[in-house]
Amino acid sequence: MSAQGFKSEHFSDENGNPAGGTTYGVGFTIGWQRGPLVVNGVCKSPNGAYVEDVLAAVIDRIEHYQETQFKSAYNGSALVALRTAMSCLQNRTADRANRGVEGTHEV
């Protein structure tokens, strides 16, 4: 386990493209998306999690904290940062879609 309390194993294909992997720690296991969603113009179903999926789960959990006695300015600040990160990733996805490369390994 790393200093953060989790262990990761990330894989790349023969071209250096992300090719899945796992991240796990106490109470969680994440199987990351393996390969692109679009191959030769055919859209495939996801086979793993995306960073946006995990961010959404973390946002959801902290929002829950904010509905309890553990509501705090620290949680509020964390939510702002997480939502900013999510927005950046959504902007990246929109840019890739506009360029016609979303779901592929094209840069």
25-78 pLDDT tens trace? 999 999 999 988 888 888 899 999 999 999 999 999 999 999 999 999 999 999
How far is it, in rounded angstroms, from Cα 4 to Cα 86? 21
Report helix, strand or coil for 80. Answer: helix
- Asked whether the beta carbons of 23 and 30 are under 8 A apart, the reply is yes
Rg (CA), the chain: 16
pLDDT band with cut points at 50, 70 and 90 for residue 3: low
